[in-house]
A and B are shown apart, each in its own frame.
Chain A
Amino acid sequence: MSEALWRRKDLLGLEELSKEEIELILSTAESFKEVTTREIKKVPSLRGKTVVNLFYEPSTRTRVSFEVAAKRLSADVINIATETSSVKKGETLIDTGKNIEALKADIIVMRHNCSGAAAMLARHVSISVVNAGDGWHEHPTQALLDIFTLKEKLGEIAGLKVSIVGDIAHSRVARSNIWGLTKLGAKVMVCAPKMLIPPAIEEMDVVVTDDIDEALKDADAVNVLRMQFERDEKAAFPEQLAYFKEFGITKERLSKAKKDIIVMHPGPINRGIEMSSEVADGTNSVILEQVTNGIAVRMAVLFLVTQGRETNNESTH
């Protein structure tokens, strides 16, 4: 079934995926999640394949998650941190990609601070490219694991009200979540001070508010985002304490929401800025389950892009 549906060699973002493709990743992830509960948490699906983690930005969670996912699929994993590589010597992204290809790697998992970098790399190499976050643009595997977690908790995405709160403007997680959730039929609301709402975001089929109580009201889930201070100048952000007062997710605010509202966060959390510790560690929080689910989702993605590439190669031979 998957071979018929999945024909892409790359995963660059959720904007370009169909509902069916997203559902395929989620169902594939479900079967891989079962693997992670076994005593021997390893399958031979990608044995003999090489996955290169190419990270132009610091990352712990995502890089380790991809590494664990690849290893559980029996792939060999190589990590390249750009601070210690030829990139420092001025090598271009395309040259770096072509060199990795020449080393006969099969998949590049890339994080980059420029929007569109993954798309550009994918055009220039014939091996698979998985976007692990590009600038403000997309972070597809994060959104997929968020959606996977929601689905696991609530069963069905269609009809859910999901609010995304925080730094929407600079957030690739927000964009990927919006594309994914709306394709699956959820109602999405974004909530932030006006300066953190990017222009014309309504055209992505979301409702915009700057009233946190409205965002929480009737919401089945709230996805709380970190302020991405590293991505813009200071003037682009609100003052931290004032922000927490007006938008921070606190126990008191949650008490007015649905009792079993799901609280998500892609991490790392800035406790006391976007949410209180009580909430982060409270019973509504699924933050650590998201991390666990990330492995299954990334296993599914690595598996599918490999299949997609092999299917393409066969059909062109």
Chain B
Amino acid sequence: MKVLIKGGRVIDPLNNLDKVCDILIEDSRISKAAFDIKNSADKIIEAQDKIVMPGLIDMHVHLREPGREDKETVCSGTKAALKGGVTTLLAMPNTHPAIDSLENVELLKGIIHKTAKANVFMVATITKGRKGEELTDIAGLKKRGAIAISDDGNSVDDESLMLEAFKKAKENNLLVICHCEDKLLSANGVVNLGFTSTRMGLRGISKESEYKRVERDIKLAEKVDASVHIAHVSCQESLEIIVQAKKKGVKVTCETAPHYFALSEEDVLGYDTNKKMNPPLRGKDDIEAINKALKNGVIDTIASDHAPHTENEKDIEFERAEFGVIGLETELAVAITELVNTGRLDWTGLVKKMSLNPAKILGINKGNLSIGSDADIVVINPDKEWIVEKQNLISKSKNSAFLGRKLKGVVEYTICSGKIVYKL
């Protein structure tokens, strides 16, 4: 099978490429990138005025399988990913059962093998049952295919246990992804602590509950020279800590999610539970700091934190509703609309954040269009506008924070391992 993508603007930061050219795919790999390739391909994609970039790599996705197939499955979630231009994703381990044992890794691996439509890498838990009490068999989990460990949704409170986890991760060359939250400090809060929590009459989540834990986890990682990735950074103070650590040479990377730069705490004032997530939407200063950190590189990557929940779990009283929003189908368009069209990032910058950098963090040979690389490619119409509507979302859950919002940028083709797996 040969696919030829003709005449698109090809963005490939690893190869310093931003120019109009053709790309030829043979079987599952990129075989040629040049101006006006003459070749009898099986399929020709006319990409004039389109952006051609490596497929997105999303480091933070909840596929909910096994256990909560009513919210999402590996199959439905990866289909949604492809529609959003995501060809590779990390599945978070807070499933039922959690991915905390060799058996459960094998279980998930089997489901992925049978049903995944995109590349799925598995994250295993740090502690058994994500309870923060006893470490998992980190070496074994790595051998069975885990690419990182995380108790996502929880932070390991016990400092010495967490240090031990970093040591084991280091020995096994595994990345530790940290959900940074001191639950004693976030104290059952549901929105940003401050004027927002006060005027809404709700319990607040302080920024301190996040950045104190960012500080601790970086300190522990530094002690044993382990690699740490801070998930869903939402506030200025966390970024300041990360900047200092990076300057010192600590192996720290971090992500933010689209809602943290595209929405603010004011969006939650109507008690819309699709604006309820953890960490919560923050204030104007934090949004400014996040935008700045995206620009200057302190934030390495944008991840969706795709967190599907059923309507039964969302259409209830605000404080009782589940935390989290879906994002696979909207993250690229939100980033184009809020970052590229506003001039905060150029296309090269966007591709770094959403494809090249996560590939580097994970140490996988993706996120580029080099000859011989896996042919994971997205073709985007960057000017087409669309409105996010429930009926157009293909994820099993519809809890998007961007419902009703007009966005710019539509994925026209997604190619995964050389096959056209999504077409508008």
Chain A residues with a Cβ under 8 A of chain B = 15, 92-94, 112, 114-117, 119-120, 134-138, 172, 175, 198-201, 203-204
Contact = CB atoms under 8 A, between A and B. Distances in A.
A114 B199 contact: no
A201 B197 CA distance: 10
Contacts, number: 64
Interface stretch (B40-48, B315-323, B342-350): B315-323
Contacts of A200: 194-195, 198
Nearest to B318: A116
Contacts of B204: 199
13 contacts: A93-B316, A112-B317, A114-B318, A114-B319, A115-B200, A137-B201, A137-B202, A199-B193, A199-B194, A199-B204, A200-B195, A201-B198, A203-B195
A231 to B, nearest CB: 10
Contacts of B271: 115-116, 119-120
B270 interface: yes
Contacts of A15: 199
Contact of B317 (A117, A199, A201): A117
B318 to A, nearest CB: 4
Contacts of A137: 200-202
Contact of B201 (A92, A93, A135, A199): A135
Contacts of B199: 15, 175, 204
A93 B193 CA distance: 26
A15 B197 CA distance: 14
A154 B30 CA distance: 82
A137 B198 CA distance: 8
Contacts of B320: 114
Nearest to A200: B195
B145 to A, nearest CB: 41
Contacts of B197: 198-199
A204 B198 contact: yes
B194 A116 contact: no
A138 B204 CA distance: 17
A186 B4 CA distance: 71
Interface in B310-364: 312, 315-320
Contacts of B319: 114-116, 135
Interface of B: 193-195, 197-202, 204, 270-271, 312, 315-320
Contact of A199 (B195, B200, B270, B318): B195
Nearest to A114: B317
Contacts of B316: 92-94
Contacts of B318: 114-117, 120
B194 A136 contact: no
A204 B199 CA distance: 8
A115 B320 CA distance: 10
Contacts of B201: 115-116, 134-138, 172, 175
Contacts of B200: 115-116, 137
Contacts of A120: 271, 317-318
A230 B169 CA distance: 46
| A137, A199, A201: most-surrounded residue (chain B CB, <10 A) | A199
Contacts of B270: 119
A200 B195 CA distance: 5
A112 B405 CA distance: 31
A112 B195 CA distance: 22
B214 to A, nearest CB: 21
Nearest to B270: A119
Contacts of A199: 193-195, 197-198, 204
B315 A94 contact: yes
Contacts of B312: 92
Contacts of B198: 198-201, 203-204
B388 to A, nearest CB: 19
Given A137-B201, A199-B204, A116 B317 contact: yes
Contacts of A134: 201
B195 A93 contact: no
B371 to A, nearest CB: 55
A135 B195 CA distance: 17
Contact of A92 (B193, B194, B315): B315
Given A119-B270, A136-B201, A136-B202, A93 B317 contact: yes
A281 to B, nearest CB: 31
A115 B194 CA distance: 16
| A117, A120, A137, A204: most-surrounded residue (chain B CB, <10 A) | A120
Contacts of A136: 201-202
Given A200-B195, A203-B198, 10 more contacts: A93-B317, A94-B316, A117-B317, A120-B318, A135-B201, A137-B202, A172-B201, A199-B195, A201-B195, A204-B198
Contacts of A119: 270-271
A116 to B, nearest CB: 3
Contacts of A92: 312, 315-316
B205 to A, nearest CB: 12
A267 B317 CA distance: 26
B316 to A, nearest CB: 6
A163 to B, nearest CB: 18
B124 to A, nearest CB: 36
A172 B201 CA distance: 7
Nearest to B193: A199
A93 B312 CA distance: 11
A115 B319 CA distance: 8
Contacts of A138: 201
Contacts of B315: 92, 94
A101 B202 CA distance: 28
A260 B201 CA distance: 33
Contacts of B202: 115-116, 135-137
Nearest to A117: B317
A201 B201 CA distance: 11
Nearest to B315: A94
Nearest to A119: B271
Contacts of A198: 197-198
A99 to B, nearest CB: 15
A200 B206 CA distance: 13
A137 B200 CA distance: 6
Contacts of B195: 199-201, 203-204
A204 B200 CA distance: 12
B197 to A, nearest CB: 7
A199 B197 CA distance: 8
A199 B270 CA distance: 20
A10 to B, nearest CB: 13
A69 B175 CA distance: 65
| B193, B271, B319: most-surrounded residue (chain A CB, <10 A) | B271
A236 B197 CA distance: 16
